[in-house]
Chain A
Amino acid sequence: MINLTPDKQHTSVVNAVMPLMKKGATLSYSHGFNIVEEGMQVREDLTVIMVAPKSPGSEVREEYKRGFGVPTLIAVHPENNPLGKGFDQAKAYAVATGGDKAGVLDSSFIAEVKSDLMGEQTILCGVLQTGSILSFDKMVEKGIDPAYAAKLIQYGWETITEALKHGGITNMMDRLSNPAKIKAFELSEELKEIMRPLFHKHMDDIISGEFSKTMMKDWDNDDKDLLTWRAATGETAFEKTKVTDKNISEQEFFDNGVLMVAFVRAGVELAFETMTEAGIIEESAYYESLHETPLIANTIARKKLYEMNATISDTAEYGCYLFDHACKPLLSDFMKEIDTEVIGKKYGEDNDNGVDNQKLITINEEIRFHPVEIIGAELRESMTAMINIL
């Protein structure tokens, strides 16, 4: 029996299904919130496993049809493995969805839940939401055509993170001119310093169970907070502004979106650093931060933040709003210093491209020797190797 309902329904679904399950049957999840955060007790004779594709469902299907798959995490709940068959079944399930062709992590319910929550609340959805709204409002305030600003943001995340998908933060930063790269680096360093306490708070609340407790209170209150915040997101100026028909070239998204590049670097690195500091293994932290960012950015390209929040789980959406509400005021001083040279117009348009050699070397090294880049290059390479074998 495979339970693929929203988190909120898990307890009632599992309670309804359990009496119908034969002795010795298996119950599977794709996210462990119910087991880890709610403490669901499953009948002793049942095996409990998890097979969690690290992608939205649509991607799971598309990749399979191409003869491939998406990276997948598998786990067995240690309290429910009476026959010792859980691991083999989870492996076979990962083969059946195509996951084995993209890389499988042998992990635990706990590692999956804590890292998944952290990734989605911070870099994946939170930073993209906050970054979108702040960048858009800034451009409009400074006289950039709102229709252009809306397009730069809506499709900018997707274009920028496509570079991330292929070659990590290093490649994303390399797409900028040297002066723009130095500027993006400096902005992202500032962003990291300002946002780090908030990332820590999210991680701490996830580890302690405070986050899930808060969200479950909202479940009991008919999702009042979630629905209010969702409606408010639909009313933001970014969401309501029609995008221009004018073409923005692929390179222009980088040149005119230095601030967005800075948001992505800061968010990915902070999420990765915070997770690994908390004891989550680098492979897991990589998939829950850098790897998934382009997938979420694609949803914004389809229909802005509303689409992103509709596609992600209610749990991710709830955490995203918590992050966004705390992050915007934190960044208010930072944003006062921001002008259109880093968002909306080409950076350094009237200057030549000269930079200080030593400074550029130092910055390049900081970027490419960050731990997320080392593990990322390794994992991306093993995925490519698997495609070649096929």
Chain B
Amino acid sequence: MANYFNTLSLRDQLAQLGKCRFMDPSEFADGVEVLKGLKIAIVGCGAQGLNQGLNMRDSGLDISYALREGAIKKNVNPIKMQAKTALQLELTKRLFLQLIS
């Protein structure tokens, strides 16, 4: 694999580096609609994985986790803390088994 940035032309590099626009709140009028009903799996359950996932769940999205087998066996914090994720853990185990098989 090659460094992606270095494969681009200078023109593209500059355009991408200089891309940043502060969005207007009105651009979010559709809310979470396009993700509703989709199956969303989060791989990893560190500080970002756990907390983004909880927010997304509370926003009405369908979230499952995929973790390393070691992390599941250790019963890591998120699983211990979040009784509600018991079902998700089941999904996770299944997903995980798929991942390693």
Residue contact A53 to B52, C-beta cutoff 8 Å:
yes
Q: How many A-B residue pairs have CB under 8 A?
A: 184
Which residue numbers of B lie inside 8 Å of A, CB to CB?
Answer: 1-7, 13-14, 16-23, 25, 27-28, 30-35, 40-52, 54-56, 58-61, 66, 95, 98-100
- The proximity string for A residues 309-326 relative to B, scoring 1 for CB distances below 8 Å and 0 otherwise, is 001000000000000000
Which residue numbers of A lie inside 8 Å of B, CB to CB?
Answer: 1-6, 9, 11, 13, 16-17, 20, 30, 35-41, 53, 56-58, 60-61, 64, 75, 78-79, 85, 88-89, 91-98, 100, 103-111, 113-114, 207-209, 212-213, 278-281, 283-284, 311, 379, 382, 386, 389
With A39-B1, A53-B52, A208-B6 already in contact, 17 other A-B pairs whose C-beta atoms are closer than 8 Å? A2-B52, A4-B49, A38-B3, A39-B3, A39-B4, A60-B51, A61-B51, A96-B59, A97-B52, A103-B22, A104-B28, A107-B19, A108-B16, A108-B17, A111-B18, A284-B20, A386-B25
A108 and B4 CA atoms in complex are apart in Å by 13
* Chain A minimum-CB-distance residue to B7: A39
Residue contact B19 to A111, C-beta cutoff 8 Å:
yes
Most chain A beta carbons < 10 A, residue from B2, B13, B32: B32
* Chain B minimum-CB-distance residue to A209: B3
Do A30 and B52 form a contact, CB below 8 Å, given A35-B4, A106-B21, A279-B14?
A: yes
A57 and B100 CA atoms in complex are apart in Å by 27
A94 and B25 CA atoms in complex are apart in Å by 11
| Distance of B29 from chain A, by nearest CB (Å) | 10
Residue contact B55 to A64, C-beta cutoff 8 Å:
yes
Q: A60 to chain B: which residues have CB within 8 Å?
A: 48, 51-52, 55
| Distance of A101 from chain B, by nearest CB (Å) | 8
Residue contact A280 to B18, C-beta cutoff 8 Å:
yes
A111 and B54 CA atoms in complex are apart in Å by 27
A93 and B31 CA atoms in complex are apart in Å by 9
19 contacts between A and B (CB under 8 A): A1-B41, A5-B43, A6-B44, A13-B44, A20-B95, A30-B48, A53-B48, A57-B46, A57-B47, A60-B52, A88-B34, A93-B35, A98-B59, A105-B21, A106-B19, A106-B20, A110-B13, A209-B3, A212-B3
| Distance of A91 from chain B, by nearest CB (Å) | 6
Residue contact A283 to B22, C-beta cutoff 8 Å:
yes
Residue contact A109 to B3, C-beta cutoff 8 Å:
no
Residue contact B34 to A280, C-beta cutoff 8 Å:
no
The 6 closest A-B pairs by CB, nearest first: A57-B47, A281-B20, A61-B51, A5-B44, A4-B49, A110-B16
* Chain B minimum-CB-distance residue to A56: B47
* Chain B minimum-CB-distance residue to A107: B20
| Distance of B86 from chain A, by nearest CB (Å) | 19
Residue contact A104 to B23, C-beta cutoff 8 Å:
yes
Residue contact B58 to A64, C-beta cutoff 8 Å:
yes
A145 and B25 CA atoms in complex are apart in Å by 51
Residue contact B30 to A105, C-beta cutoff 8 Å:
no
Q: B25 to chain A: which residues have CB within 8 Å?
A: 100, 386, 389
A78 and B12 CA atoms in complex are apart in Å by 11
Residue contact A96 to B56, C-beta cutoff 8 Å:
yes
A99 and B77 CA atoms in complex are apart in Å by 25
* Chain A minimum-CB-distance residue to B36: A92
Q: B20 to chain A: which residues have CB within 8 Å?
A: 105-108, 111, 280-281, 283-284
Residue contact A92 to B1, C-beta cutoff 8 Å:
no
Q: A78 to chain B: which residues have CB within 8 Å?
A: 16
A62 and B89 CA atoms in complex are apart in Å by 23
| Distance of A390 from chain B, by nearest CB (Å) | 10
Most chain B beta carbons < 10 A, residue from A5, A37, A108, A209: A5
| Distance of B33 from chain A, by nearest CB (Å) | 6
Residue contact A39 to B2, C-beta cutoff 8 Å:
yes
| Distance of A159 from chain B, by nearest CB (Å) | 24
Do A209 and B99 form a contact, CB below 8 Å, given A2-B41, A105-B21?
A: no
A114 and B51 CA atoms in complex are apart in Å by 25
Do A280 and B17 form a contact, CB below 8 Å, given A20-B99, A39-B3, A89-B34?
A: yes
A311 and B47 CA atoms in complex are apart in Å by 9
Q: B99 to chain A: which residues have CB within 8 Å?
A: 16-17, 20
Q: A311 to chain B: which residues have CB within 8 Å?
A: 47
Do A3 and B18 form a contact, CB below 8 Å, given A39-B1, A95-B28?
A: no
Residue contact A40 to B51, C-beta cutoff 8 Å:
no
Residue contact A107 to B21, C-beta cutoff 8 Å:
yes
Residue contact B49 to A111, C-beta cutoff 8 Å:
no
